[in-house]
Amino acid sequence: MMSMGKILVVDDDYNICELLRLYIEKEGYDVVIANDGGQAITKFKTEKPDLILLDIMLPVLDGWQVCREIRKTSQCPIIMLTAKGEVFDKVLGLELGADDYVIKPFETKEIVARIKAVLRRAGINTSANVSMTDSSRKEVRYDKLVINLTNYELKVNGEQIDTPPKEMELIYHLASNPNRVFTRDQLLDEVWGFDYYGDSRTVDVHVKRLREKLEGVSDKWALKTVWGVGYKFEVKE
pLDDT digits (tens, 9 = 90+) for 101-122: 888 888 888 888 888 878 876 6
Query: For the domain 134-235, what is the CATH code?
Result: 1.10.10.10
Angstrom distance (rounded) from CA 179 to CA 156: 20
For residue 86, what are the CA distances in angstroms to 1, 89, 116, 233? 39, 9, 26, 37
The model's pLDDT over 72-102, given as tens digits with 9 standing for 90+, comes to: 888 889 998 887 556 556 667 667 778 788 8
The domains of the chain are located at 6-121, 134-235
- pLDDT value at position 142? 92
Statement: the pTM of the whole predicted model exceeds 0.85: no
Angstrom distance (rounded) from CA 188 to CA 214: 21
Query: For the domain 6-121, what is the CATH code?
Result: 3.40.50.2300
